[in-house]
Amino acid sequence: MKVVGVSKCPAGLAHTPMAAKALMKAGDKLGWDVKIEQQGATGIINKVTREEAEAADFVLYATDQMIDEEERFEGKKKIRVNINTCIKAPEAVLKKCGSAVEAQN
Amino acid sequence: MMEGIDISDVFDESHVLLDLDAKTQDDVFHAVAEAAVRNGIADDANALYEGFLQREQEVTTGLMDGYAIPHTKNEAAKRAAMFYVRVPNPLPWETMDDSEVTNLFCLIAPASCEGNPHLVMLSALATCLLEDDFKEAVAKAASAEELVSLVTEHIEKEVE
Amino acid sequence: MKKFLIEARGHLMTGIGYMLPMIIGASLVVAIPQLIALAMGIQQLTPELQGFPHFLYEFQQVGWGGIGLVNTVLGGFVAYSIANKPGLAAGLIGGAAATATQAGFLGAVVYAFIGGYLVRWAMSVIHVPEQYQAVMPNVILPLIATVGVALVATLLAGPLSAINLAIIDWLTTMCQSDTNRIIMALVLGGMIGFDMGGPVNKAAWTATNAMMLSGIYIPCVYTNLAICIPPLGYAIAATLRKDRFSEELRGAAAGNWIMSFIGITEGAIPFTLVKPLVLIPINVIGSALGAGVAAAFGTIAEIPPLGGWYGCVTMINPLGYLLGIAIGGLFIAFFSTLLVDFTQDATTDMDEDDIEISFE
């Protein structure tokens, strides 16, 4: 599975990097290709390009906020998950999203 | 990424509050806000306190295993900094695993911080808290010196 | 409003937290001479006794003195939790007033909340010039808070004590019938087993402790006992059927023996999380069953009951108490290993079913 995504939280200080890292680590563990962009207090880190988004199976929004530069992901399957859930159980989040996407195909 | 940046800019022994006699979130926020003013990080303790509180009201900063990471992006802050707080009596807190909170890292960032290199260290600290080893070591650290060297070591590893 | 209720519960829990060590200490001082007296063939310690029994009587009176302080300490520390040092005085006075006017636990909490929030309010509206700063915490705040509490205590003493006495009366009647006692034990036991330290568990625990403060000791027997059951169940299971448990959980079993012994339900959480939908019902039934067995065997308390296995020394029919714990524990041990395989560890990650995702 190839996944791109964005993490974003109210202050952009703590939960944004935590969720991004937790998801990417869980991705490694599952043998998936996971790249999560951080939209935090210092600006955008680890930016996902349009090409990367094109190649992905789905886009994961680890936030309940509006995200910046959303037009990149036009036409992709987008899934929103609570950011705290992504920190708490990143692997289960990925698996659940993965099977939900497969079920749709 | 680390050139010219020193972790002691954001965290040193004077930022460690071990055995803080706190009974509520409020007590912790007040204590940290006051410590930040004493250390010249901010000029208005009340504004910092309000900032922590407001962020906490949006969504809880409680994590797992007795940790929380309260933070504020604040007009009153002159520079970025973080504080470690340990309380002898676990605090009631909304956390991901319903545990009570005994260990806190409180982060303070100035309001405009686009491209601020010090924020990288605050973020790195946050991601360190995903590691069980780090959490265990911090909870066991007996002195401020031990904490500072532990945190420094892990942040450096994280930021490389 | 919801936020206020959460905050209020926190203050109440802080107050109970400070009061609990005192009541445990005082209960022991009541229980120990009572047990010695029973061993000597004396049913009740009275002031007329001579020699060593008289000493026992005096010793026990010290304990009762401590138990008499519960409302005072509870009120004091609820107010302290709300408004720190300036609130303490008003809370202590309110708590003492609650005891004096028979407004009980209920009164102590009401007065403490009024005193505590009065102090907070006064701190936010009254500002004195710099040079008079010292009079705020030492004169003005205590004055406002205690006068406020005294006023409320005078006005509300009648209705609050009426409510308090009516509740006590009702509960006392209920505790007298065997059937009611068993029903009460089943309900309380089930609540304790339901979420192990969560809101339902704490609701049962707080309610029975409140009753204990009003001198109704029996309900607390059943919560104290039920608390020991879930950790005991998994301790037995992981000790007898090692092959059904992951290494990590086998390690946790040792801790569960201790948690059961001293009475901490939370010990059972890591086990229950392996398959909550199956294990929570088992915990509930096991805890209810154990408490019900003890009630059926006539286990009651006439002095404030202690928790943990050793709490049995403070009960009438301690064997029924221990039997209840053992039967509940065995029930959980048997059915949990029968229905659930504990070899996979699910403590670190959430169940996928609990995760909410939404397509954009």
Q: How far apart are CA C80 and CA C78, in angstroms?
A: 5
Measured in angstroms, the CA of C238 and the nearest CA of chain B are apart by 23
Does any CB of chain C come closer than 8 Å to the CB of residue A76?
Answer: no
Residue of C12, C14, C124 to mutate for B, most B C-beta atoms under 10 A: C14
Query: Cα(C109)–Cα(C12) distance, rounded to whole angstroms?
Result: 8
Give me chain C's average pLDDT, please.
85
Question: Are C352 and A61 within 8 A, CB to CB?
Answer: no
On the question of pLDDT at B1 being above 60, the answer is no
Q: How far is CA C345 from the centre of its chain?
A: 31
A56-76 average pLDDT score? 90
Which residues on chain C are in Cβ contact (under 8 Å) with A80?
Answer: 357-360
pLDDT at C229: 96
Give backbone dihedrals phi and psi of B82, rounded to 5 degrees, phi first: -135, 155
pLDDT at B4 over 60: no
Interface with chain C: mutation pick from B98, B132, B136, highest number of C CBs within 10 Å = B98
Q: Between C350, C359, C360, which is nearest A89 by CB?
A: C350
pTM reported for the whole predicted model? 0.47
- Mapped to the 3 state alphabet, what secondary structure does chain C carry? CHHHHHHHHHHHHHHHHHHHHHHHHHHHHHHHHHHHHHHCCCCCCCCCCCHHHHHHHHHHHHHHHHHHCHHHHHHHHHHHHHHHHHHHHHHHHHHHHHHHCCCHHHHHHHHHHHHHHHHHHHHHHCCCCHHHCCHHHHHHHHHHHHHHHHHHHHHHHHHHHHHHHHHHHHHHHHHHCHHHHHHHHHHHHHHHHHHCCCHHHHHHHHHHHHHHHCCCCHHHHHHHHHHHHHHHHHHHHHHHCHHHECHHHHHHHHHHHHHHHHCCHHHHHHHHCCCHHHHHHHHHHHHHHHHHHHHHCCCECCCCCCCCHHHHHHCECHHHHHHHHHHHHHHHHHHHHHHCCECCCCCCCCCHHHCCEEEC
For B111, which residue in chain A has the nearest alpha carbon? A41
Q: Write out the two tokens for A58.
A: 């789905």
What pLDDT, on the 0 to 100 scale, is given for residue C351? Answer: 67
> B8-40 pLDDT, tens per residue?
889 999 999 998 989 999 999 999 999 999 999
* pLDDT one-digit tens code per residue, C320-350: 999 999 999 999 999 999 988 887 644 444 5
Say yes or no to pLDDT of C249 above 50: yes
- Per-residue confidence band for C1, with pLDDT thresholds at 50, 70 and 90: low
Residue in B89, B92, B98 nearest the CB of C10:
B92
Q: What is the pLDDT of residues C257-294, one digit of tens each?
A: 988 998 888 888 878 878 888 999 999 999 999 999 99
What is the structure's pLDDT at C227? 94
Is residue B70's pLDDT more than 90? Answer: yes
| pLDDT number for residue C50 | 84
- pLDDT at res. C186: 93
| Contact by Cβ (8 Å): C163, C106 | yes
Q: What is the pLDDT of residue C288?
A: 95
Q: Do A79 and C358 touch (CB under 8 A)?
A: yes
Q: Does C346 touch chain A (CB under 8 A)?
A: no
Q: Is the pLDDT of residue A52 over 80?
A: yes
What does the pLDDT average to over A40-65?
90
Nearest Cβ partner for B24 among C10, C17, C197: C10
**More confidently predicted of B113 and C73:** C73
Q: C358 and chain A: CB distance < 8 Å anywhere?
A: yes
Rounded mean pLDDT, C52-80: 89
Sort out which chain C residues have CB atoms less than 8 A from B62's CB and list them. none
Q: Cβ distance A53 to A36 under 8 Å?
A: no
Residues B23, C14: C-beta atoms closer than 8 Å? yes
User: What's the whole-number mean pLDDT along residues C121-142?
Assistant: 79
Of A77, A92, A96, the CB nearest to C359: A77
Average pLDDT value for residue range C86-115: 88
CB A40 within 8 A of CB B102: no
Distance CA C235, CA C250 (A): 9
Higher-confidence position of C17 and B84: B84
Q: Which residue of A has its CA nearest to C347?
A: A89
Task: Give the distance from residue A44's alpha carbon to the nearest chain B alpha carbon, in angstroms.
Answer: 10
Q: What is the rounded average pLDDT of the residues C150-177?
A: 82
% of chain B residues with pLDDT over 70: 94
The residue of chain A with its CA nearest to that of B129 is A18
Distance from CA of B10 to the nearest CA of A (A): 14
Q: Which residues of B touch C10 (CB under 8 A)?
A: 24, 92
The verdict on A6 touching C (C-beta cutoff 8 Å) is no
Of A10, A25, A38, the CB nearest to B55: A10
What per-residue confidence (pLDDT) applies to C347?
42
Cα-based angle C218, C214, C168 (whole degrees, multiple of 5):
80
Q: How many helices (H) does chain A have, and how many strands (E)? A: 4, 5
Q: What is the mean pLDDT of residues C48-66?
A: 88
Instruction: Please provide the average confidence, as pLDDT, over all residues in chain B.
Output: 88
* Domain residue ranges in chain C: 2-166, 177-349
Given an 8 Å threshold on Cβ–Cβ distance, is C360 in contact with A79? yes
| C359·A79 Cβ contact <8 A | yes
Domain A2-104 has CATH 3.40.50.2300: yes
The mean pLDDT of chain A is 90
Q: Does A44 touch chain C (CB under 8 A)?
A: no
Chain C residue at shortest CA distance from A85: C355
Can you tell me the mean pLDDT for B121-143?
A: 89
Distance CA C157, CA C149 (A): 11
Q: Are C355 and A77 inside 8 Å of each other by CB?
A: no
Q: Cβ contacts (< 8 Å) between C349 and chain A: which residues?
A: 89, 91-92
The CATH T-level fold of domain B9-159 is: Mannitol-specific EII; Chain A (3.40.930)
The terminus-to-terminus CA distance of chain B in angstroms comes to: 7
Of the candidates C352, C355, C359, the beta carbon closest to that of A78 is on C359
Residue C206 contacts B where some CB pair is shorter than 8 Å = no
Q: Within an 8 Å CB–CB cutoff, is residue C21 touching chain B?
A: no
Kindly indicate the confidence band of residue C303, based on its pLDDT and cuts at 50, 70 and 90: confident
The pLDDT of C94-99, averaged and rounded, is 90
Amino acid sitting at position A51: E
Confidence of residue C2 (pLDDT cuts 50, 70, 90): low
Q: What confidence category does residue B5 fall into, taking pLDDT thresholds of 50, 70 and 90?
A: low
Among residues of chain A, what percentage have pLDDT more than 90?
54
> What is the set of active-site residues of A?
9
Whether residue B69 lies within 8 A of chain A, CB to CB, comes out as: yes
